[in-house]
């Protein structure tokens, strides 16, 4: 769970969710963005990056909204107890491989190498892409088959405390879902080919198809299972197959829908097994340290999943509010939404330019891109974090208090999201720092800093979790995991920032810190006003309904936005006013 992810929605550790009708809109967006991204605007100018990512951000927002609805449908179908956790574990295993192996190794290697070969090769890098896709695709297929065969042992590794029945159910879900590894990899590779050619829109819209199919699967399950699902502790084989096959079909569709977009981008993949002497050794060398990073992340992830699933088992034994892997997943889904919409959109458009600057050894331009990107995303991330800190519990009730999920379970999910919000700013800034290392092909540096990140996460989360479950505060077990997550990112951000700054001779640190301090002061004032207003309006409600949660979010959130903008303007936070000005100029022109 200690990852900045790429931008597909995470399941449990990060974001991983995510018809054909949306693909056309995505392609139009991709064409528009590619034109903007192709313009080499002055390094570090946030406006140029914003222009390159506005429409891609629209695609991401659409996909993320679909991801939230997907989470709501899952919560309504299976609730937040151990039954839901068995599905979440089975469906999370391929997602973990995607985030930690595919999303890590391929994102670290694929864009920089594709950009390099597009520039240096006479065929614009098409032959290199053919060979790399063939090699990685073959490896993915082998890994997927092996994972399905090893499913019982994989489940045992992540949830040793499960009973035999729970283990068998999680294994059944895993066997249906583990083929997603292959399709997540295909999606990532095809997306990176499009990104390297300046097409950013289609990959951001593609997860919507995944979400639509998954949502339909959960709704169909609700109809098939009926009221019996509300108290079920096991499922018939047919219902297990329905959930497993349906979610896997969604991932397959997400990948395959990009094929016609690639054809329109004038790239058609041709299998090529001429791997020797094709320059793939460079990518393999870069991937070595990323794979090592995967192993470190995986060790930490195993511990966190064990703790989260244990929390739900103990809750069932003690009769307390259910909250485990599924609740933590849904809390992280809320937490990651601002990052996915804001940061991922900006950085996806920025990364090719960063790669070109690094390739040209223009470290001043690279530093300007990184510093400008940090300031731009922070202008929007800070108020989003404040809003989530204040309104997280209400968001949990509004989003997840349906069907099999009780109000108390939904409130717990929202409370965990509120705590995670304290780490939203360092999470997103570290994400940008990590992309700086990727652009420089410093995957070994990323590995060692990630070792520190995971060590800190476990060092903080483990004792806090043990205190919670062995005291009278068992309901705080997931809060403890969230607190460890937050602390580890704050500390690692400082370390990563210093290391990267020294590597490239500066990172516009003074300018960026001044902007961040002013943004955080504006955020602190906004937090105080929102909490006061919340107490005056809804603070006396002990059992808020979904309607009251919605009113609270609308009223307090709107006032908070106005207050933040006013404070930022009075403090002369130019990044905030620049973002607002850009959005005002762009929105009226939208079609």
Q: Quick check: 40 pLDDT over 50?
A: no
Look up the pTM and report it. Answer: 0.77
Q: pLDDT class for 39, splitting at 50, 70, 90? A: very low
Q: Quick check: 425 pLDDT over 80?
A: yes
* Domain definitions of the chain by residue range: 20-535+543-576
Return the closest-CA partner of residue 102 out of 273, 255, 331, 320: 255
Regarding predicted confidence, which is higher, 517 or 281? 517
9: which DSSP letter? Answer: P
Per-residue pLDDT, 566: 92
Per-residue pLDDT, 145: 92
Per-residue pLDDT, 340: 79
Q: pLDDT class for 38, splitting at 50, 70, 90? A: very low
Q: Quick check: 129 pLDDT over 90?
A: no
Per-residue pLDDT, 485: 94
Per-residue pLDDT, 120: 67
**How far is the C-alpha of 52 from the C-alpha of 10, rounded, in Å?**
24
Per-residue pLDDT, 561: 92
DSSP string, 434-499: HHHHHHHT-HHHHHHHHHHHHHHHHHHHHHHHHHHHTTT-GGGHHHHHHHHHHHHHHHHHHHHHHH
Q: Quick check: 199 pLDDT over 60?
A: yes
DSSP string, 415-435: HHHHHHGGGHHHHHHHHHHHH
Work out the mean pLDDT of the chain and round it to a whole number: 79
Distance of CA 336 to the CA centre of its chain: 6
Q: Quick check: 203 pLDDT over 50?
A: yes
Strands (E), 329-423: none
Q: What average pLDDT does the segment 130-153 reach?
A: 86
Per-residue pLDDT, 505: 81
Q: pLDDT class for 580, splitting at 50, 70, 90? A: confident
Q: Quick check: 20 pLDDT over 60?
A: no
Per-residue pLDDT, 112: 62
């Amino acid at each position: 769970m200690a990852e900045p992810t790429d931008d597909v929605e995470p399941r449990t550790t990060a974001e991983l969710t995510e018809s054909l009708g949306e693909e056309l809109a995505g392609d139009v967006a991709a064409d528009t963005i590619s034109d903007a991204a192709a313009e080499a605007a002055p390094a570090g100018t946030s406006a140029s990056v914003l222009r390159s990512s506005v429409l891609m951000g629209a695609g991401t927002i659409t996909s993320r909204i679909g991801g939230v609805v997907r989470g709501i449908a899952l919560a309504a179908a299976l609730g937040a107890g151990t039954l839901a956790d068995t599905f979440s574990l089975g469906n999370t295993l391929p997602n973990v491989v995607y985030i930690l192996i595919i999303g890590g190794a391929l994102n670290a290697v694929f864009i920089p190498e594709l950009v390099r070969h597009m520039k240096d090769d006479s065929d614009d890098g098409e032959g290199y892409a053919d060979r790399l896709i063939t090699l990685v695709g073959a490896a993915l297929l082998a890994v997927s088959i092996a994972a399905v065969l090893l499913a019982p042992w994989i489940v045992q590794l992540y949830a040793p405390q499960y009973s035999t029945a729970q283990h068998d159910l999680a294994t059944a879900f895993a066997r249906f879902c583990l083929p997603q590894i292959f399709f997540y990899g295909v999606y990532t590779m095809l997306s990176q080919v499009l990104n390297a050619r300046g097409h950013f829109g289609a990959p951001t819209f593609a997860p919507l198809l995944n979400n639509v199919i998954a949502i339909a699967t959960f709704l169909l399950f609700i109809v098939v299972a009926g009221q019996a699902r509300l108290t079920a502790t096991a499922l018939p084989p047919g219902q297990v197959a329905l959930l497993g096959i349906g979610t896997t079909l969604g991932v397959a569709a997400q990948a395959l829908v990009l094929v016609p977009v690639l054809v329109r981008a004038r790239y058609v993949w041709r299998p090529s097994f001429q791997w020797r002497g094709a320059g793939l050794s460079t990518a393999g060398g870069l991937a070595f340290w990323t794979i090592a990073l995967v192993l470190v992340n995986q060790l930490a992830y195993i511990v966190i999943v064990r703790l989260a699933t244990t929390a739900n088992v103990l809750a069932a034994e003690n009769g307390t509010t259910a909250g485990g892997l599924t609740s933590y997943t849904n809390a992280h889904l809320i937490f990651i939404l601002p990052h996915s919409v804001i940061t991922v959109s900006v950085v996806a458009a920025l990364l090719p330019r960063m790669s070109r600057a690094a390739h040209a050894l223009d470290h001043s331009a690279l530093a300007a891109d990184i510093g400008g990107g940090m300031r731009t995303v922070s202008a929007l991330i800070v108020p989003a974090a404040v809003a989530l800190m204040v309104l997280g519990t209400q968001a949990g009730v509004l989003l997840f208090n349906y069907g099999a999920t009780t109000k108390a379970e939904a409130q717990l999910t929202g409370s965990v999201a509120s705590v995670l919000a304290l780490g939203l700013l360092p999470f997103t800034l570290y994400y940008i720092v990590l992309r700086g290392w990727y652009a420089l092909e410093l995957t070994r540096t990323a590995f060692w800093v990630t070792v520190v990140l995971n060590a800190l996460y476990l060092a903080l989360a483990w004792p806090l979790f043990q205190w919670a479950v062995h005291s009278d505060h068992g309901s705080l077990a997931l809060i403890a995991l969230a607190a460890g997550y937050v602390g580890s990112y704050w500390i690692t951000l400082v370390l990563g920032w210093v290391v990267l700054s020294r590597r490239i001779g500066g990172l516009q640190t003074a300018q960026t810190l001044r902007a961040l301090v002013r943004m955080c002061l504006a955020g602190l004032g906004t937090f105080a006003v929102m909490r006061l207003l919340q107490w005056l309006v809804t603070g006396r409600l002990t059992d808020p309904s979904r309607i009251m949660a919605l009113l609270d979010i609308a009223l307090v959130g709107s006032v908070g936005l106005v207050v933040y903008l006013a404070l930022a303007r009075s403090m002369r936070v130019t990044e905030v006013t620049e973002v607002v000005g850009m959005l005002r100029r762009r929105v009226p022109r939208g079609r």
